Amino acid sequence: MLGKGIKVKKGNNTIPIFFAVDDGYIPFLAVAIESILAHASKENYYLIKILYTNISDKNKRIIKKYENDILNIEFVDLTYYINEVKDKLYTRDYYTKTTYFRLFLPDLYPQFDKVLYLDSDITVLTDIAELYNINVKDNLVAAAPDDVIQNEPIFQEYVEKVVGVSDYRHYFNAGILVMNLDELRKFKFQEKFLYLLETTKYAVVQDQDYLNRMCKGRVKLFDNTWNRMPIGGDIVPREELKLIHYNLAYKPWHFEDILYKEYFWETAQKTEFFNDIQRIKDTYSDEEKFKDREAYTKLKILAQKESDCVGDDRIKTKLKLKSTEKISELSNERVRILSEIENLEKEGLFDKDAEKDPPTITLESENVDYLNEKITSKVKNIFANKTGEYFLKNIIKTQKLLIKDIKGIENLNKIKDGAIITCNHFNPFDAFAVEAAFRKSNLVKDKKLYKVIREGNYTNFPGLYGFFFRNCDTLPLSSSTKTMKEFIKATETILQRGDIILIYPEQSLWWNYKKPKPLKPGAFKLATKNNVPIVPIFITMQDSKVVGEDGFMVQEYIINIEEPIYPNQNLTYKEAVQEMKDKNYKVWKKVYEDFYKISLEYTTPPEKMPKY
């Protein structure tokens, strides 16, 4: 018998608690147990059973340290048992076969009439015994309605049509369960579950769907304060929260802006795994974050397809899926770009764009009016700037551009004459972010902001963006020597009359790349030659709660405007350029490390690091 040898302290109420994990989830199991112990009552005796097939001895020893007079921990290896049925257990994405372990508890533990089953991605905020003591009567389980289902119409349709619950509000989450093992055994639950495995495959929420199908009509629902997920907004009074469940991709150890993350991190800091968990978060890549979101998008597509097979209107369904397919196409391109960025960093090719640029047509001097001296150029410039102003307001309103904060606006206000703004380049909209900061400063009263852009963006970029590139106070570079002479003359005129020029000294756009890249000297040569300061801007970013058209979270920007850097008149021209470039990079590096709390490191081998 699996429960043989259990020691129970006389006079205490026994609370049997089951988890099912593998080695990868041990750090989060530690957080869950830490939170249980923090609120445990000395009047109870807590028996924690950890079902597993793959956990190292080292991790077992660390978890066992939590044992004390009121807490017992046992690791139960189910390898042999699960091998008997593993070929029947369907898994997908982030699911593993451990998720099915709870379904075998009635027969595995005949000595218990009632147990708690808890997922390990949780933080408990009160005595878990309160949940165990809920009176389940003759119901098979007690559970909370699934917050994800309650907030997503596609899943609501799925659970009613495919799983067969009478009302989606009765569909429960199986991550937090009070299991009435006595009634489940009388019901012959395991026998019926194994039969259902042979005849029916639930591909969306797998074991949870089986539980809902088999237990419907015999479920005691408790409120979601005992199984609150970081979804649907901060609508539950904090003092009522009892258990936070970081379900699906809502992991504070993967994403920055997760509701209720403070409860997790406060507890995680008390565990031996805190540094490991912090490292997991710091190294979790944009591509991994995308895959998490893509899995959720695919889950919705799958749920919709499953629902379609139950007598739905196929034309209506196709219309629903069109937008999802478009998201998937854009998402795949983003994944390709992220992979390309990863390769470019490894090769040290920091000045090469990761995205497919339009073909470059040489910009001849007669085809550009840098200072808008012609009447037609002036008219187009006025119209373009008005349109651009409206466009900026619109992308902020529609949350395509999210600016959380602008820090250091006083550093822009210090500028009295001409200056060059440098900024990291990671998104086509980052120029609009700089524009927004410029408009908040005193400079907007009597100065213009010019933007240096690539040649191809000016000569061959289509649509509205192409119109902006050609007419919104832009200074295109050129592969023509003659045109570049005009470019240099124009920049000198602009700076000497006291206007501002935005230059990207990285000279490449890497989408959502957070690190500062090695800088090229062009901006600093212009500043030194014209004896004007550089104003370094470094934009840091974090995930917002807004999902973009590409399936990725829209980034929320903090615009960090740093102290102006002036050319050193006591140095030679070459030395002054190098000093300004070094100071700019050092400032960016500090902002990066202070914000992201990690050292700036590249995957580039030392021999491939560029020396600009």
> For residue 96, what pLDDT is reported?
47
In a domain, residue 64? The reply is: yes
Supply the pTM of this predicted model.
0.55
Please check whether residues 274 and 386 belong to one and the same domain: no
Question: Which region among 9-13, 136-140, 197-201, 355-359 has the lowest average model confidence (pLDDT)?
Answer: 9-13
Tell me, rounded to whole angstroms, the distance of Cα 456 from its chain centroid. Answer: 32
Q: Measure the CA–CA gap between 403 and 401, rounded to whole angstroms.
A: 7
> For residue 317, what pLDDT is reported?
43
Residue 316: pLDDT over 80: no
β-bridge pairing 114-118 and 176-180: antiparallel
> For residue 357, what pLDDT is reported?
67
**Closest C-alpha to 200, from 109, 88, 285, 283:** 88
Averaged pLDDT, 194-209 = 76
Q: Measuring CA to CA, how many Å separate 369 from each of 45, 358, 472, 523? A: 81, 22, 12, 21
Q: Measure the CA–CA gap between 263 and 252, rounded to whole angstroms.
A: 10
Q: Is the pLDDT higher at 423 or at 389? A: 423
Q: Model confidence at 86, in pLDDT bands (50, 70, 90)?
A: low
> For residue 8, what pLDDT is reported?
46
In a domain, residue 226? The reply is: yes
pLDDT cut 70: percent of the chain above it: 90
Question: Which region among 130-144, 176-190, 326-340 has the lowest average model confidence (pLDDT)?
Answer: 326-340
Please check whether residues 389 and 271 belong to one and the same domain: no
In a domain, residue 294? The reply is: no
Q: Model confidence at 548, in pLDDT bands (50, 70, 90)?
A: confident
Residue 333: pLDDT over 90: no
First to last CA, the chain: 70
Q: Is the pLDDT higher at 274 or at 92? A: 274
Averaged pLDDT, 304-333 = 58
Q: Model confidence at 191, in pLDDT bands (50, 70, 90)?
A: confident
> For residue 10, what pLDDT is reported?
46
Q: Measuring CA to CA, how many Å separate 248 from each of 23, 152, 575? A: 18, 14, 54
Phi, psi dihedral angles at 243 (to 5 degrees): -155, 125
Residue 550: pLDDT over 80: no
Top mean pLDDT of 96-100, 103-107, 183-187, 234-238 is at 183-187
Q: Is the pLDDT higher at 78 or at 283? A: 283
Residue 361: pLDDT over 50: yes
Averaged pLDDT, 35-52 = 96
Averaged pLDDT, 310-316 = 50
CATH code, 115: 3.90.550.10
Residue 314: pLDDT over 70: no
**Closest C-alpha to 349, from 518, 197, 195:** 518
The number of distinct structural domains making up the chain is: 2
- Which of 238, 270, 285 is the C-terminal boundary of a domain? 285
> For residue 113, what pLDDT is reported?
95
CATH code, 583: 3.40.1130.10
Residue 24: pLDDT over 60: yes
DSSP output for 446-464: T--EEEEE-HHHHHH--HH
Q: What is the mean pLDDT of the chain?
A: 87
Question: Which region among 128-137, 155-164, 223-232, 315-324 has the lowest average model confidence (pLDDT)?
Answer: 315-324
> For residue 174, what pLDDT is reported?
92
Averaged pLDDT, 591-600 = 91
**Closest C-alpha to 90, from 213, 199, 251, 219:** 199
In a domain, residue 83? The reply is: yes
In a domain, residue 296? The reply is: no
Within 10 angstroms of residue 188's Cβ, the number of other Cβ atoms is 12
Please check whether residues 72 and 206 belong to one and the same domain: yes
Q: Model confidence at 329, in pLDDT bands (50, 70, 90)?
A: low
Residue 198: pLDDT over 60: yes
Averaged pLDDT, 584-606 = 93
Q: Model confidence at 176, in pLDDT bands (50, 70, 90)?
A: very high
Q: Model confidence at 300, in pLDDT bands (50, 70, 90)?
A: confident
In a domain, residue 146? The reply is: yes
3-class state of residue 179 by DSSP = strand
Tens-digit pLDDT profile for residues 73-82: 999 988 866 6
Q: Which residues contact 217 (CB under 8 A, 6 or more apart)?
A: none
**Closest C-alpha to 331, from 288, 285, 290:** 290
> For residue 126, what pLDDT is reported?
97
Helix (H) or strand (E) run with residue 545 in it: strand 534-547
Tens-digit pLDDT profile for residues 552-588: 788 999 999 999 999 999 999 999 999 999 999 999 9
The whole domain housing 556 covers 373-599
In a domain, residue 306? The reply is: no
> For residue 273, what pLDDT is reported?
96
- Which of 252, 285, 318 is the C-terminal boundary of a domain? 285
Q: Measure the CA–CA gap between 381 and 384, rounded to whole angstroms.
A: 5
Question: Which region among 14-28, 195-209, 373-387, 504-518 has the lowest average model confidence (pLDDT)?
Answer: 195-209
> For residue 1, what pLDDT is reported?
34
Averaged pLDDT, 447-472 = 87
> For residue 85, what pLDDT is reported?
54
> For residue 325, what pLDDT is reported?
52
- Which of 263, 285, 307 is the C-terminal boundary of a domain? 285
pLDDT cut 90: percent of the chain above it: 60
Tell me, rounded to whole angstroms, the distance of Cα 167 from its chain centroid. Answer: 32
3-class state of residue 139 by DSSP = coil
Q: Model confidence at 306, in pLDDT bands (50, 70, 90)?
A: confident
Please report where in the chains the tokens 């006291």 appear, as a residue: 498
In a domain, residue 358? The reply is: no
Phi, psi dihedral angles at 355 (to 5 degrees): -100, 160
Q: Model confidence at 274, in pLDDT bands (50, 70, 90)?
A: very high
Please check whether residues 397 and 271 belong to one and the same domain: no
Averaged pLDDT, 150-157 = 85
Averaged pLDDT, 435-450 = 94
Averaged pLDDT, 305-320 = 57
> For residue 95, what pLDDT is reported?
40
Residue 97: pLDDT over 80: no
Question: Which region among 37-41, 126-130, 386-390, 572-576 has the lowest average model confidence (pLDDT)?
Answer: 386-390
Q: Model confidence at 12, in pLDDT bands (50, 70, 90)?
A: low
Please check whether residues 116 and 256 belong to one and the same domain: yes
> For residue 183, what pLDDT is reported?
96
